[in-house]
Structure 1
Amino acid sequence: MILTKRKLAHIVFESNDKASKTFDVILLVLIFSSIIIAVLDSVGELHLKYGKIFYALELGFTFLFTLEYILRIWLTSKTLKYVTSFYGIVDLMAILPVYLSFFILNTQLLSVIRALRLLRVIRILKLGRYLSEADFLRESLKASAAKIQIFLFSVLTIVLIMGTLMFVVEGPVNGFTSIPAGMYWAIVTLTTVGFGDITPQTPVGQLLASLIMLMGYAIIAVPTGIVSSEMAKRRMPQNYEKEKTCTFCGFDHLERGDNFCKKCGEKVRD
């Protein structure tokens, strides 16, 4: 069977027949294998024993991905659109780290960015129906953007004030060498991470630390509540605002045009 450019383009870009699915599955296996190699190569003991083998395999994977990238550019009728698209940029970034490793040591490990290419599994496994849920989440976050920005500005203000207070109260002797160092401590404490690399030693400093810790628990709930509220609004039925409640039985699924309750039959008051 002779593969024409049109047939080859169908195999590479589509996934509705056996040949296309086989190509995509092989591609996913190669991507997953290259990621495993990069992860194993970062382990010191394994790198000492098998470093050359890992690097040779990585070069092989990169060569295949480079051929695939060039093939996609050649096959597509909209070259610029593909190159500047999300997947086009990811495909390019998936091969660049290895080429950079010829000049900058260990940059080949950045090839784990290929994990983003696994998103193609959505198309292969027919998971497109879940994209609507992703859109729902994105729209909820977008609607919450202004509130979250105000929230982050408020948190930044708290961090600045508390960091400055700790610098004044504790001083360089106890690790608070500057206001930025105090702000770093405030961020770590406010987010309840608490690395413990800088700790207040004076009673006043410990009091301030206790306050900011308690404040941290309250602050964590704020962005969650903002996004959850937007998600709940978008989940509401379109006719929610058109409904009213019966004052006799409490039935709350009456439309504005209803004069009598559907449940108890009593006349509905506006």
Structure 2
Amino acid sequence: MSNTLSSNAHIDESLRAKVYWWLERPDRNAFGPKLLEITLITLIILNVSAVIIETVDSIYQSWKFAFDLFETTSLCIFICEFLLRLWVAPENPNTPTRISWVRSPVAIIDLLAILPALLYLLIPIDLRILRAFRMLRLLKLTRYSPALSMLLAVFEEEAGAFFAGFFILILMLIFAASGAWLAEHTVQPDAFGSIPSAMWWAVATLTTVGYGDVTPITIAGKIFGALITVIGIGMAALPAGIIASGLNEQIHRRRSSMQREFRKALEDGMICEQEEEDIEALRKQLGISSRAADHIREAVYAEMKAKIGITCPHCGEPLDHENSNM
């Protein structure tokens, strides 16, 4: 009995590893997983295109059955994909448990891609509203795009900084609306009659949009508005600075990973064919261009030569590294 259970568990683990190989593409050059990835990307793009086209009533009414059939088929595929990824999650060293995978950003995106359609089966909401939420399926492309995955990693790692910036923005919004109300509520009761009413002006000014439909007319209001506008320029640049800093850090980490891979391959003094394939697969996975990878390769080669020894500029013979420092 125990041998049968052990055999079944081994078969289950083997099948799970095979499904993981197909879904996550640990072997970037494998034809089958690559074809599956292209198919899923095409399905996501077709879903987003369908959502856009469905907003044209004449087209949607003429092809309603086809649109609904395509949505049902796509939903079934995405549900199966989600359940399979949940099943194979322990195969991924980055998410050793299924709970940790469910909490990951890519899993949340996958869930948001199917949740609106599932909610319609439980709660009678206007279907057109839920169709608009299907645009969230576009976020599933972050799994297949190194650039989008890099941006997602920035948002995940810099969540604390984004929260701090958002909190400061809320404080500034309340402060700006309160100041505008104090300066303008007597002369413009319709626009600045209360602090909530003045918040529209505060939002437009702090975000440097400045629609111009509501503007201060008193001297104090104009001075205060000019001050808030200047502060708003800095507030608008704060999230951009966080994203730029985070992207720079991500790029540095990815290039460091390439450097480590090159150093590891050059430990024996040469890079074999299999190591070249592994390096190329890592380059594609990290989204590093061929030119950048060549620069990294040259830098690592130079570093390895410097570690081996320094050549005498007169005779060309290698010098001892310790003596050369003396």
Shift of residue 97 of structure 1? 0.9
Whether the aligned pair in 2 keeps the contact of 1:97 and 1:109 (CA below 8 Å) is no
Q: Which moves more between the two structures, 184-193 or 40-49?
A: 40-49
Q: Distance in 2 between the 1:179 and 1:57 partners?
A: 48
Show the counterpart of 2:112: 93
Deviations 1:50-89 (A, max 9, x none): 3443233212211111222233334444433333332222
Whether the aligned pair in 2 keeps the contact of 1:31 and 1:115 (CA below 8 Å) is yes
2:155 matched to 1:155? Answer: no
Q: Distance in 1 between the 2:248 and 2:19 partners?
A: 46
Q: Quick one: which amino acid aligns to residue 135 of structure 2?
A: V
Q: Distance in 2 between the 1:191 and 1:131 partners?
A: 25
Whether the aligned pair in 2 keeps the contact of 1:37 and 1:54 (CA below 8 Å) is yes
Q: Which moves more between the two structures, 46-55 or 29-38?
A: 46-55
Whether the aligned pair in 1 keeps the contact of 2:142 and 2:148 (CA below 8 Å) is no
Show the counterpart of 2:204: 188
| Equivalent of residue 143 in structure 2, options 112, 120, 140 | 120
2:111 matched to 1:104? Answer: no
Equivalent residue of 1:101, what SS?
helix
Deviations 1:143-199 (A, max 9, x none): 966984785376346414433224434342x43231111132122123231234434
Whether the aligned pair in 1 keeps the contact of 2:117 and 2:130 (CA below 8 Å) is yes
Q: Quick one: which amino acid aligns to residue 159 of structure 1?
A: A
Ranges in structure 1 where 5+ consecutive residues have no aligned partner: 123-128, 236-270
Show the counterpart of 2:48: 35
Whether the aligned pair in 2 keeps the contact of 1:35 and 1:112 (CA below 8 Å) is yes
- How many residues matched? 227
Q: Which moves more between the two structures, 3-12 or 176-185?
A: 3-12
Equivalent residue of 1:175, what SS?
helix
Shift in alpha-carbon separation, 1:145–1:203, aligned structure 2, 3 A? closer
Show the counterpart of 1:24: 37
Root mean square deviation, CA, Å: 4.2
Whether the aligned pair in 2 keeps the contact of 1:190 and 1:213 (CA below 8 Å) is yes
Show the counterpart of 1:61: 74
| Equivalent of residue 81 in structure 1, options 78, 87, 100 | 100
Deviations 1:24-47 (A, max 9, x none): 111111111111111222344433
Shift of residue 22 of structure 1? 0.9
Whether the aligned pair in 2 keeps the contact of 1:35 and 1:111 (CA below 8 Å) is yes
Q: Quick one: which amino acid aligns to residue 106 of structure 2?
A: Y
Shift in alpha-carbon separation, 1:162–1:227, aligned structure 2, 3 A? farther
Show the counterpart of 1:259: none
| Equivalent of residue 14 in structure 1, options 22, 25, 31 | 25
Whether the aligned pair in 1 keeps the contact of 2:53 and 2:59 (CA below 8 Å) is yes
Q: Distance in 1 between the 2:80 and 2:247 partners?
A: 43
Show the counterpart of 2:299: none
Percentage of matched positions with identical amino acids: 27
| Equivalent of residue 182 in structure 2, options 146, 149, 165 | 165
Shift in alpha-carbon separation, 1:193–1:34, aligned structure 2, 3 A? same
Shift of residue 110 of structure 1? 0.8
Deviations 1:93-125 (A, max 9, x none): 211211223421131321111112101223xxx
- Tell me the TM-score normalised to structure 1 length: 0.63
